[in-house]
Amino acid sequence: MANRILLVYFSRTGHTRKVAMDIASALGCDVEEIRDRVGRGGLVGYARSSLEAIARFDTLLAQTRHDPADYDLVVVGTPIWFWSLSSPVRTWARRHRDDLRKVAFFCTCGSPGGQRALAELEALYGSTVASLALTDREIDAGQIGSKVATFVEGLAAGTRPRARTATTARG
Ligand SMILES: Cc1cc2nc3c(=O)[nH]c(=O)nc-3n(C[C@H](O)[C@H](O)[C@H](O)COP(=O)(O)O)c2cc1C
């Protein structure tokens, strides 16, 4: 049976959404956009997002449609907020810390980075199958095709069942 894959992401200004759509169309997988119930637009939304990121506060999530426990692999995408996960993704990740079998990670950021966010996710789930960090500049310039393709190949390799060890019977 084919692996079931869910892609889960949050996006405030569209960069993570763009990457999520590219990955999802390459994988043909189910998609869940994480939404929360607080305003994130304008200066007030930016300030709220900053505060939550720095203090590592959870947020109030809107209802989600997919149960990640039903999937073999969950791909989690987030913008980087103050070198770490965005609060909606952190809230979702904490809520589902015991539900995920295999996890892959991608992030979008103003400047290259994302290691701290990846480390935070790995602290919750253990190791990740593959990871990808893209800058706004690359995304806006439409220069992400080859990195997304490599990431998607890594997902396929990470979810492939292990080959059985050949055994020989004598006698
Ligand atoms: C509150 C806040 C904090 C941010 N902190 C960082 C940061 O620490 N490092 C970075 O490279 N970009 C940072 N950014 C920029 C975003 O990570 C980047 O623009 C991202 O692509 C936005 O994704 P989105 O368009 O899907 O919301 C921050 C943006 C916000 C709103």
Q: Which domains does the chain have, with CATH numbers?
A: 5-159 (3.40.50.360)
Q: Is 106 left (phi over 0), alpha (psi -120 to 50) or beta?
A: beta
Q: What is the pTM of this model?
A: 0.91
Q: Check if 12 has its Cβ closer than 6 Å to any atom of ligand 1.
A: yes
* Contact criterion met (CB below 8 Å) for 78 and 59: no
Is the pLDDT confidence value at 63 over 80?
yes
- Amino acid letter, residue 158: G
What's the CA-to-centroid distance between 104 and ligand 1, angstroms?
Answer: 20
What's the CA-to-centroid distance between 79 and ligand 1, angstroms?
Answer: 5
Q: Which residues of 130-153 are buried (b: 16+ CB within 10 A; e: fewer)?
A: bbbbbbeebbeeeebeebbeebbe
Backbone angles phi, psi at 78, to 5 degrees: -145, 150
Terminal-residue alpha carbon distance, the chain: 35
- C-alpha to C-alpha distance for 67 and 57, rounded to whole angstroms: 23
- C-alpha to C-alpha distance for 14 and 20, rounded to whole angstroms: 10
Span 151-164, mean pLDDT?
74
Looking at residue 80, what is its pLDDT?
97
* Contact criterion met (CB below 8 Å) for 6 and 68: yes
What's the CA-to-centroid distance between 118 and ligand 1, angstroms?
Answer: 15
Q: Check if 88 has its Cβ closer than 6 Å to any atom of ligand 1.
A: no
Q: Check if 82 has its Cβ closer than 6 Å to any atom of ligand 1.
A: yes
E-strand ranges in 36-166 read 73-81, 84-85, 102-109, 131-135
Looking at residue 161, what is its pLDDT?
57
Residue 26: pLDDT band (50, 70, 90) is: very high
Span 23-32, mean pLDDT?
96
Q: Check if 33 has its Cβ closer than 6 Å to any atom of ligand 1.
A: no
Q: Check if 80 has its Cβ closer than 6 Å to any atom of ligand 1.
A: yes
User: pLDDT tens for residues 77-132?
Assistant: 999 999 999 999 999 999 999 999 999 999 999 998 888 899 998 999 988 999 99
What's the CA-to-centroid distance between 48 and ligand 1, angstroms?
Answer: 13
Q: Check if 14 has its Cβ closer than 6 Å to any atom of ligand 1.
A: yes
Residue 160: pLDDT band (50, 70, 90) is: low
